[in-house]
Amino acid sequence: MSERMDERLQAALAALESGESLDQALARYPEAADDLRPLLQTAARLRALPGSPRPGAQATSRQAFLAQARSMAAAPQPVSPVFRRLAFAIGALIIVLGVGAVPVAASASALPGEPLYGVKRAVEFAQLALALDRASRDMLEQRFQQERFNEIKALMSRPGGSGGALVDITGALESVAGNRWLVDGMLVRIDDSTRLDGALVDGAQARVQGRLEDGVLIASEITTLGGAAATATGTPTPTPGPTDTMTVTIPPPPATPTPAPTETAESVESETDEPEQTETQKPEDTETDEPDSTEIDETDEPSATDDGDGEDDGGDD
């Protein structure tokens, strides 16, 4: 872009910001109007791009945030794993109870993507955290795993379709042939974008995350669970996509990452991953000035172990 054109663009943008219409701004430079119009239209679209949170969303988030803080304050560090689990369970219960108007009982039948689904998962977590012994916990985990399958079946049979709902199941790999796998009787479709991690062989226990589209579960990530693969025997894992992209193991937040304390402990502990910056080749910037501060310097990404914990280096606006 020429210097003159750049000046015109800045002036036209300033005119728009001062309240002029697009046509009025373009009328300032009729000879450049054809070049300026798409740029100004794009700027106008960008202004309208961010949405607003739904009514009550900020208040709900605030409530969960403060409830989590209270549970943390009640749990001095360091704490034993048992105590920590109990604290998070209390936090989860506070959140569940704290939302007040949300009927917890009604969340029992919520499906992925529905407003109460986060509450349902928070209640499940609280139950798990409060389990008195390993046997009780295993029994609950088994029940919740089955519930995930039931949810998918319910979504598939819903008249309005599954609507791209995010799902997360755990089960035994019964068939790993081709691009249509079977996980505890559930058909799972694999495509080139599916991330595979671990020894994915027949009989292995695996976690499948994906989305439902047109009644089919399309996997975005399949990960073996610890120990299961070691004892499993069967055919080698098929490689439907590039194998060099199948090494990432990231326990992500749930499909609807409700701000429950349950997710905090796990998500924070998993923050050693770093966003992949190389998925797309980005153009080089060639502006020549040197930054003299780095308040919001996106190039200064937190390191692999710095996500959320790095030394900050900027000021505020």
Partner 1 sequence: MHDDHRLLARARQLDPEALAEIHDTYYPIIFRHISFRVSDTQAAEDLTSEVFIRLLAALRDRHAPQDSLSGWLYRVAAHVVADYHRRGYRATQVELDETMPSHDSGPLEMVESQMVNERLRDAIKDLTDDQQMALDLRFGQGRSIRQTAAAMGKTEGSVKQLQARALAMLAKRLSEGDSVL
Q: Which of residues 5-24 bind partner 1 (CB under 8 A)?
A: 6, 9-10, 13
Binding partner 1 (rule: CB under 8 A), the pick from 19, 45, 80, 133 is: 45
Give me the least distance between CB of 231 and partner 1, in Å please.
29
Tokens 């439902």 belong to 212
Site for partner 1 in 119-138 (CB under 8 A): none
Site for partner 1 in 78-117 (CB under 8 A): none
Residue type, 236: P
179 counts as binding partner 1 under rule CB under 8 A = no
Name the residue nearer to partner 1 (CB basis): 182 or 250: 250
Handedness of CA 138, 252, 63, 302 (dihedral sign): positive
Name the residue nearer to partner 1 (CB basis): 206 or 232: 206
Strand locations in 94-139, DSSP E?
none
Name the residue nearer to partner 1 (CB basis): 43 or 128: 43
Size of the site for partner 1 (CB under 8 A): 93
153 counts as binding partner 1 under rule CB under 8 A = no
Name the residue nearer to partner 1 (CB basis): 5 or 199: 5
Cα separation, 158 vs 153, whole angstroms: 9
Cα distance from N-terminal residue to C-terminal residue, the chain: 30
Name the residue nearer to partner 1 (CB basis): 45 or 134: 45
- Mention every residue, 6+ apart, whose C-beta is less than 8 A from residue 246: 195, 196, 197, 239
Give me the least distance between CB of 186 and partner 1, in Å please.
19
Binding partner 1 (rule: CB under 8 A), the pick from 53, 178, 227, 236 is: 53
Q: Which residues pair with 180 in a beta bridge?
A: 189
Total Cβ atoms within 10 A of residue 135 = 9
Cα separation, 117 vs 103, whole angstroms: 12
